[in-house]
Chain A
Amino acid sequence: MNAIDIRGATKVFNPGKSNQVEALAEIDLAVEPGEFITLIGPSGCGKSTLLRLIASLISPSTGTVQVNAKPAEQARLDRDYGMAFQTAGLFDWRTVTKNIELPLELMGWSKGNRRRRAAEMLELVKLSDFSKHHPSELSGGMQQRVAIARALAFSPSLLLMDEPFGALDEMTREHMQDELLRIWKETGTTVVFVTHSIPEAVYLSTRVVVMSPRPGTIASTIGVGLGDRSAATRDDPAFFRKVTEVRTALRKVEE
């Protein structure tokens, strides 16, 4: 059973109107459980749109999107996935703990269970000391870690991330990438990650999906296969070869 199965999905915004936009054309993509997939491509290539199709925040114009072998809409209602956005999107009026508890509240968890799970998640993202803080008291990187904890709080089998580290500085970003990989390994969650950074895509994923714009299509998929990542990976010639491979694929797309 595939974690994600997309067949012939297209997306046209404002069909029939003067501002009609063909965002995605004929997307076919299958993601196996436990994979870390990165969607990369120039802006306007529809990578965020594709992510939102998987999340069933928008529906495809034609074709089908299945998550965990059921329609994406049903997967959303079943809360099969957690989502993180470019801005952490934490609620300022809630403490860190209460932010992580938000999805659990909506799912009707008891107060005790919520507290316990939030504490576990804070431990996972190494922010146990900040449970009672408010988001505005945290740095950008810490806010993103809370957002990841929130997305994973109800143990979804799938994590959807839309350029979550895009607004972070380079040092924090690399730190967060290592954190995310650690969490991915500890939880075994399937991850679909949108980025426009080539090194980030190569460092994180098992497979990089390169997309081309107007209308958005999948130009190529590149298996990475670098094994366990560490600080040394970033200086590894094999890492650079993959970066070059993805860059070449992106150049072709731009032509």
Chain B
Amino acid sequence: MPNTHAGADMGIGAETDDPLVREHRIKQQAAQELRRDAVVRIVRQTVTFVVFLGLLAGLYTGYKAFGQAIDDRQHDWAVVGSVLPRTDDLNMPPVGEIFGQFLETPGGQNQIYVKILFDEALFTLREAFAGFMVGLVIGMAIALALAQWRRIEQGLLPYVIASQTIPLIAIAPIIVIWGRKNFDVFPWEWQDWMSVSIIATYLTFFPVAVNGLRGLQSPRPENQELMDSYAANWVQTLWRLRLPASLPYLFAALKIAATASIVGAIVGEISSGVEGGLGRRILREAFNYTTGPDRLFASVLGAAVLGIFVFLVVTGVERLVVGRQDRGATA
């Protein structure tokens, strides 16, 4: 048996007269370099992120110093304070004070602010996660139905799109009221945070449905013919071809959906008055702005961190599930 070497080890330089195998060796070396590049890339991304944050803080502080310097000389300068935001501590609390706020204990509380924000972020995360999961299921169900029946696709898709034009702030209180009065069909006791989850679901299902549909329809005609040639049934074709082929599209949607579910939960809390989460926190700090502007900035930062967190979680799951495929595609 010429050309076959023992085991999976194919050391570079082994004897072969097969031009395809030789060509592969060259690709193999290139792939190794790519893997090295991946480590470099992660380090570079982290450094870039830190530098970016530093730059933002620097810009903020620099602009503030610039505005104050002008303020000292000439009280009503045309641009700063009229077109651009005013730079006094009420409008732009110093970066140090915003971050310092995290470690302070607000009056009437027995915990430092960052711990309070953390607990409230968990509350909001629970709402968002429940909504996200339900939205994922509903979105995939819609995508499957649309992929299966073209007629439905043409008829239903406009309504799916139209659903996203309804302002959330308007429907959030309605859902909370319905939840308190009408949702006793569920075997568990309906809680207000579940109503907020519905709002998160509302934002989540849409990108999943649209991208899921694109993904399910992404296999090439030959791939479908291949499955037909094996006399594969609908479930086998779905499980072995359409679903795996849809994953890269689906994860693109899930990244949007995950951050949208956080936005949905925060907006839902704000407009429905549900207590305990970051949305409610932001609303309260906005009311108390004049006495503690740095706390509003800090709570908004908390919301941003939560959004970045769920994005990173989805990206991590994507690496686990389709990482190999992705790397191959870029190689």
CB distance B244 to A136 under 8 Å?
A: no
Beta-carbon contacts of B19-42 to A below 8 Å, as 1s and 0s? 111011001100100000000000
Alpha-carbon separation in the docked complex, A230 to B226 (Å): 32
Stretch at the interface among A122-130, A205-213, A216-224, A244-252: A122-130
Q: B residues within 8 A CB of A91?
A: 223, 240-241, 244-245
CB distance A142 to B24 under 8 Å?
A: yes
User: Nearest Cβ in chain B — how far from A70, in angstroms?
Assistant: 14
User: Nearest Cβ in chain A — how far from B290, in angstroms?
Assistant: 56
Compute the total of residue contacts between A and B using a CB distance below 8 Å: 100
Stretch at the interface among A39-47, A75-83, A110-118: A75-83
CB distance A175 to B229 under 8 Å?
A: no
Nearest to A141 among chain B residues (CB) is B20
Q: Determine if A185 is an interface residue (Cβ-Cβ < 8 Å).
A: no
CB distance A134 to B325 under 8 Å?
A: yes
CB distance B229 to A134 under 8 Å?
A: no
User: Nearest Cβ in chain B — how far from A98, in angstroms?
Assistant: 10
CB distance B18 to A126 under 8 Å?
A: yes
CB distance A57 to B324 under 8 Å?
A: no
How many of chain B's residues have a CB under 8 angstroms from any CB in A?
A: 39
Q: A residues within 8 A CB of B328?
A: 92, 134-137
CB distance A89 to B223 under 8 Å?
A: yes
Q: Determine if B331 is an interface residue (Cβ-Cβ < 8 Å).
A: yes
Alpha-carbon separation in the docked complex, A9 to B215 (Å): 37
Q: Determine if B1 is an interface residue (Cβ-Cβ < 8 Å).
A: yes
Q: Determine if A1 is an interface residue (Cβ-Cβ < 8 Å).
A: no
User: Nearest Cβ in chain A — how far from B193, in angstroms?
Assistant: 37
Q: B residues within 8 A CB of A57?
A: 225, 228-229
Alpha-carbon separation in the docked complex, A137 to B329 (Å): 9
Given contacts A102-B240, A106-B236, A172-B19, contact A139 B229 (CB under 8 A): no
Can you report 29 residue pairs joining A to B where beta carbons are below 8 Å apart? A55-B229, A57-B228, A57-B229, A79-B230, A81-B229, A83-B226, A85-B222, A91-B245, A92-B328, A92-B329, A93-B247, A93-B324, A102-B240, A103-B230, A106-B230, A106-B236, A126-B2, A129-B4, A129-B8, A129-B9, A129-B10, A134-B325, A136-B328, A137-B331, A141-B20, A145-B20, A171-B19, A172-B19, A175-B20
